[in-house]
Structures are given as structure tokens and as C-alpha cells.
Amino acid sequence: MQDHSLTEKILNQLLDRFNQPSFIEKDPISIPHRFSKKQDIEISGFFAAIFAWGNRTTIINKCNELLSLMDNSPFQFIQQHQEKDLVKFLSFKHRTFQTTDLLHFIRFLQYHYNQHHSLESAFAAGMHTYDESIEHALNHFQDYFFSLEESPDRTKKHIPSPRQQSSCKRLNMYLRWMVRQDPSGIDFGIWKNIQPSQLVCPLDLHVMRVAKELKLIESEKSDWKTAITLTAQLKTFDPADPVKYDIALFGWGVSGSPY
């Protein structure tokens, strides 16, 4: 096992290097940074996180394409669109994210925002302040997201849950964006009912590879158990904000070098 203090030193050096405003431009988090209204940040960030697999440039381009279809006012569109306004979405797709999935996402968001001011409650309603992690929040969110009549089964692969042993990488990343107060301004910190200490590290392939190199995890499986194990290790360095190290691990993984 690598020396604990040495690992902490490496992680903090990586954090200093990568946790900079310059990180935003080439990352999907640049999408919600286009907006200032809370609900626009939530909606655009939600789609950006859900689309976040594969090439980052492609992800950003597809997000911009979707937002253009929403007239670059996602909250207004979600609230006010009519059935006829959905026709223009019928040819939209991103990898395995198809029209059926998109239409359900839009329907769910309209349903939720008709009753709630923020998307935060869709997650926070499923957990308690004393929960160690967001596991219950993610399980609740999946149930809630598919509680509407005629929710499509095929869309469930885009909203996984810990009960399925999924690592929930993209949802964990989204919650990091919304919950963490970040001094460099990368994450937004606009949600207050979930604590940074309850977040779980997104288990991106880059993150997983570097975490194994640093001896923070041993498992080859990208699942919920491994995500919890990694987060527990990161809590030994910062119990209040362990997921800040996601940026450090990811930065090293993408750049190919810790230096």
C-alpha cells in the first residue's frame, strides 16, 4: 500500500494543477456555465451529465445542439412548450440516447418543475441529513423519474441506481456539479440540502485507472461498491469534501501525466 501522506501530497498537487477555471472550457460542465438562472443551470447540466460518455468535444456539441432546439432557454422551454414543439426533437440522438429517451426526459422535467422550484428536491427527498452517502437519493430519483404513466423501459439504462450495483457515474458527476462549493468556480454549489461529504466519486474510466495506480482501489469492476470504496479512501484526505479529488484524478487520467 502506498504511503498515505505521499498519496495525499500527490492528490493535492494534482488538485492545484487541474482545479482551475481553465478546466471548464473543454469539459461538459461548460454547458451549464453558459447560464445564470438556477433552473437553466440544473436542466442544461442534467443533460450534459447524462450525455457525458465518449469524446468530450462531441458531448459538448450534442448538448449545444439540444439547447439550440430549446431556443437556448431550457427552463422556459420545459415549462411552456406545447406538443407541436416536440416535433423538432424527433431526429435528435446521441449514441444510445434516442428520441424516446429525450421525450421522456422533457416530460419528466415539465412534470417536476410544475410542482417544484428546483430539481434538487427530486434527489434530496429520498435521503436524510444523517445518510453517509447519496445512495438513497439515487434510488429514489430512479423511482421518481419513472413514476409517470407509460415511462419507457428502454430509458432506464440512462438513469441507473445503486440498487442495480451501477456506479452511477454520470449522476454522481451531476450531483458534484450542483452540490460542491468550489473555490475555483468549476462546480456550482447551488444545492444546499445535500452535503459535499455525502457525494460519491464519479467512477470515470480515467479516474478508475489513476485510482488503481495510486492504490486507492483494487477492484477491476466499475460498480457501486468500487465507487463507495474509492470515496471512502478520499474521505481519509478530506472527510468534508472528498469528491473534490475527482477533478485531480480525472485531470491526470485525461492528460496522461501527473506533471
Q: What is the mean pLDDT of residues 168-197?
A: 97
Q: Which of 75-79, 82-86, 254-258 has the lowest mean pLDDT?
A: 254-258
Q: What is the mean pLDDT of residues 179-194?
A: 96
In whole angstroms, give the CA distance from residue 119 to residue 113: 7
What confidence tier does 256 reach under pLDDT thresholds 50, 70, 90?
Answer: confident
pLDDT of res. 190: 98
Cα 97 to Cα 76, 82, 110, 163, 226: the distances in Å are 23, 22, 19, 22, 26
Bridge partners for 223 per DSSP: 166
Q: What is the mean pLDDT of residues 123-133?
A: 96
Share of the chain above pLDDT 90, in %: 93
Of the candidates 180, 182, 104, 194, the one whose C-alpha atom is nearest the C-alpha of residue 144 is 104
pLDDT of res. 259: 62
Secondary structure string (H, E, C) spanning 157-204: HHCCCHHHCECCHHHHHHHHHHHCCCCCCCCCCCCCCCCHHHCCCCCC
Cα 109 to Cα 11, 74, 113, 161: the distances in Å are 37, 10, 6, 19
Q: Which of 4-8, 62-66, 86-90, 235-239 has the lowest mean pLDDT?
A: 4-8
Q: What is the mean pLDDT of residues 151-180?
A: 97
Contact of 10 with 239, CB cutoff 8 Å: no
Torsion from C-alpha of 227, 105, 100, 59, nearest 10 degrees: -60
Q: Is the pLDDT of residue 2 over 80?
A: no
What confidence tier does 1 reach under pLDDT thresholds 50, 70, 90?
Answer: very low
pLDDT single digits (tens) 208-233: 999 999 999 999 999 999 999 999 99
Q: Is the pLDDT of residue 183 over 60?
A: yes
pLDDT of res. 258: 66
What confidence tier does 257 reach under pLDDT thresholds 50, 70, 90?
Answer: low
pLDDT of res. 74: 98
